Structure 1
Amino acid sequence: MIHAKIVSFTDRGADTAARAAAVLADAHVERYARTVDLSLRYTSLSRFAQQAMVDCDLIVFVGAAGIAVRAVAPYLAGKAFDPAVVVIDEAGRFVISLLSGHLGGANALTQRLADGLGAEAVITTATDGRGVFAADTWAAAHGCTVADPDKIKHVSGALLRGEMVGLRSAFPVDGRLPARLDLNAPAESGICIGYDTAAQPFAHTLHLVPRIVHLGLGCRKGTPVERIEAAVRAVLRQAGVPVQALCAAASIDVKRDEPGLLLFCARHGLPFDTFSAARLAEAGEGFTSSGFVQQTVGVDNVCERAAVVSAGGGRLLCRKTAMDGVTAALAEAPWRVRFDE
């Protein structure tokens, strides 16, 4: 769920902010009307922006674009980290995508807000303006992490100049490729979809990593997070999977409140799911079996089964790796590269 904060500066702007919040009804929206709520009138806008840049997916300023620019400018961290920032004039006639149009989703949110308000969307990114494929927009829409955002400019620049851009994928590709993307032709700039972020098939290689790997975990009670981190890093190295590919972690239900596991997941922004021994047993056969684990928790293996169940029955990428009281395994959910959706 999107976490959004909307701030307005006039009574008319507060009305527009309320309408904008209604358009984002499926999001968690906080509204800050600085003239309507007297408790906010003399609060620091800079402090508001600083906090919002850290804990929000979307910040909407209802007022002048200059106010928004000055508020967020000191806290910009880069296109891979900044949230979407959108500006709406107080009358609700224009919705402007100001920051993080592609990776942060500001362009799509701008269009959504404009449609809902009956306003005009103002989107200035060149690829959108000229109908050119935007790799970062595609990545965000298809659950991929951009491993090296600084390479986006090379790919987008080549496409805008009308040059061919290469595409290499470790996964099956469905659909007709966007214009000027080629799976075989040599190119100076290109996109590489997969786990190998060290591969350099092009002089300028943009790596997109699908977030489809589920991490299964088990540990002794009271295991510190540092040991869990080390075990996870070991299993990732063994499988040749970057940490950016992780999308969820899972274990058995008796570990649902294990502090080290919860802290590890919080640090990496991973949802943590737990399953009963009976549900883990339903994953079938062929897992690394342990009589001790069977006797202790009621199922012969936790980490491998939890990873596979979390991945919806996906493929086991890496079997149990045991290290300092921690066991970890990886499973991959089914996924394909899809265009023309």
Structure 2
Amino acid sequence: MKALVLSGGSGTRLRPFSHSMPKQLIPVANKPVLDYVLENIRDIGIRDVGIVSGDRIDHIGAAVGDGSRFGLDITLLRQDAPRGLAHAVLVARDFLGDDDFVMYLGDNMLLPGIEDAAAAFRQDRPAAQVLVHKVPDPRAFGVAELAPDGSVQRLVEKPREPRSDLALIGVYFFTPAIHDAIAAIGPSARGELEITDAIQELLDRGAFVKAVEYDGYWKDTGEVADVLECNRKVLSDMQGRVEGHVDEHSRLSGDVVIGPGARVVRSRITGPAVIGAGSLIEDSQISAYTSIGADCVLSGTSLGDSIVLDGARLSGVSDIVGSLIGRAATVAAAPVNAEGHRIVIGDHAGVEVAA
């Protein structure tokens, strides 16, 4: 079995971050979302992985390398434009050959993994197997309608009146039968080759399509709120350790990870939290559910429930909560005599200022 990871898309809901980095590389607990995806694939015994990406393929390649650090062999596959999930399978046709494969959306977090789903596919080997998850409002998703035996009867994309609360999530298992099904469909109304149409084609041909309900933690990290929620979840399961230096005037409580070369000086950190390698936390207070990236400097700052990316500098600012601060960003207090707030902000960004 092989794996196909989709790491394209423009990430419009994560702007401005997605202007400068693929959304799949945004970190959760100081590790890119894509790393969690690749680790889940490795854990089901797959070695050969193709990653489909567009104009950010060089960023993806620089982040994952040849895959050896994951125990994988990674092949990069370029898609000229976002033309749908089924089109990504077309792009990967030569790589996939006649092997079974799992297709995994690279911005989806599934904890603790997909081992049970993989075992179910290998046991029954349906033409296709979809992972589904109960959601309160299925109208924004592809929805699976199931027979009593768990087989899929019909797939409906974003139904106005859903007959099921089982949404398709970002993991699919396929036999080579999917290739003929994709060849038989045309673009949807939005001009894309939809994987749901290809699976429906299998159903129309009488093929067995199975649904497995995923009862673990699942989140599509498409928005800042989703990324922060994933950060809280991963940090909650992390055990504290200190590999850097914490001075005698500082206090750690709860599970706190201090990375190699990081320094904590006259500061208080309440876990769960992680401080990246080489960062300096000085005269600051870090509250729970916070991830500080590598080589950051925080001085005279208080923040919590936030993610700070590598190389950021925060000085003299307080009460920062629920925030995502980009790479090498600077957040500083205004001069005492300032008449108001001074803001330098890029396209599609958002900022909230206390009244």
Higher strand fraction (1 or 2) = 2
TM-score (norm 1): 0.29
Higher helix fraction (1 or 2) = 1
TM-score (norm 2): 0.28
